[in-house]
Chain A
Amino acid sequence: MKRRMLLAVVAAICLGGCATEPWVKPYERGWLADPLMSASRDPLSDKYLQHVHDVREGARGATVAEGGGCGCN
């Protein structure tokens, strides 16, 4: 029951958002398009640094860098 409610809430938020007028106009998005605002400006470098951390820590996942199986055991 709780799961169904959570799914309904997620769907309502997402669909509700579709009906909202965009509040940042296209001509106001100059900063957002700048590389300074990117969460992962250099994908290869970020992936390597994430690999360095992943092989030495118990946690993994939900990072800005994409990874895969890496013989981390």
Chain B
Amino acid sequence: MRMQLSTYVRALWLALASLFAAPTRGAVIPEDRADLLYHYYGGGGTTASGPALLVRKGIGERVSAYASYFIDNVSCASIDVLTTASPFKEKREEYGSGVDYLYGNTTIGLSVLRSKESDYVANTFGATVTHEVLDGLTTFSLGYNVGRDNVGKVHTDFADHVNRYQYKLGVSQVVTKSLLMNLNYEAILEDGYLHSPYRAARLLGLSVPEAYPRTRDGYAMALGIVKGLGSNDGQLNASAHLRYRYFWDTWNIRAHTVDLRYVTRLGDRWLVEPHYRHYKQSAASFYANDFTTQMVFMARDRELSDFSSNALGAKASYQLFNNRFSFNRVTLNFDYESIRYDYTNFTDVRSGRLYAYKANVFQVFLSGWF
């Protein structure tokens, strides 16, 4: 089954790739831009914060390159840690870079990403192809990522690995002069050590080692709609964004995600964007809050349990200035999101109650176009 699905995805990938032979006109490389960001997450006993940087610069009219750097300073005393291990602090660093090459209406991109922390190193290599047809009204995209991760456990010589293969297909369609739609499909095939060496399952109230399958195939299909909203004088002054994603995998998880955004201009300098996100998933077939009998595969990871989350937030962008200090435009941006997680079959073993918590996510960042 796994091989058939993989072959099927590859066949679709190649079929669409064959359409990309004839160069036409109209596509452009991404804008030159730099972002400097500070992020903070706090909730469920975990805080993670740090800076991030992304710089993208064109080289001539056909090539655009970017580099990114991201730091997560994590302090973790989550319910998993408090009930099965000791609180810890660690730092995760992520380096990314990539280049896009424009040929006619086709853009070919290559990227590399390395994420490193004390017990986990992830390396991802990616290739993308996007192609515009119908004078730019339709854009097809293909993507392939391959990941090689090394998994460890601090203060031990435990070592294992994860291989990850991602296949992406997308189409973006201009429907009218104020309506955009896009459809995305992604298959993620993983094999290797797919759980945490620190976490434990429960069997009749006692802690026992978790055991996961060593393969997982996940699939996601998403539909996005963007509708422009104008004022009486015909100017665009707001847009409504709706996105729905359905996810399914071979561990029997089924998940629905709905994302709603409304972006509006306030005066000459402000963009304000309230947003709401709902997420709901069913549990993996080998998840149990407390097993009553020994099974081949046993998990008590709350990310694999039945739960839902609701996130409500807002982003605000303020235009600081235009055409100064070598920048065409510079904006200062804030984003806040409050997320509530409600678990329906994961209990806090200290109280016996169903677990729930609230998280705050905050970002402040400067963006400059040059």
Residues of A in contact with B (beta carbons under 8 Å apart): 3, 7, 10-11, 14-15, 17-18, 20, 22-24, 26, 28-32, 34-39, 41-45, 48-49, 52-53, 55-64, 66, 68-71, 73
Contact = CB atoms under 8 A, between A and B. Distances in A.
Interface string B1-22: 0000000100110011011000
B52 A11 contact: no
B196 A69 contact: no
9 contacts: A22-B136, A37-B180, A53-B279, A56-B303, A61-B168, A63-B222, A68-B96, A69-B124, A70-B92
B238 interface: yes
Nearest to B117: A71
Contacts, number: 199
A48 B37 contact: yes
A8 to B, nearest CB: 9
Contacts of A34: 228, 236
Q: Is the interface of B mostly helix, strand, loop or mixed?
A: strand
Given A31-B236, A49-B337, A70-B122, A59 B220 contact: yes
Interface stretch (B181-189, B320-328, B344-352): B181-189
Interface in B173-193: 174, 176-178, 180, 182, 184-188, 193
Contacts of B238: 36
Interface in B143-179: 145, 147-149, 151, 162, 164, 166, 168, 174, 176-178
Query: Which of A30, A37, A59 gathers most chain B CB within 10 Å?
Result: A59
Given A10-B12, A58-B253, A61-B186, A17 B218 contact: no
B45 interface: no
Contact of A22 (B120, B134, B196): B134
Contacts of A35: 271
Given A24-B174, A52-B361, A73-B194, A62 B134 contact: no
B253 A59 contact: yes
Nearest to B171: A14
A28 B177 CA distance: 6
Interface string B121-138: 111101000000111111
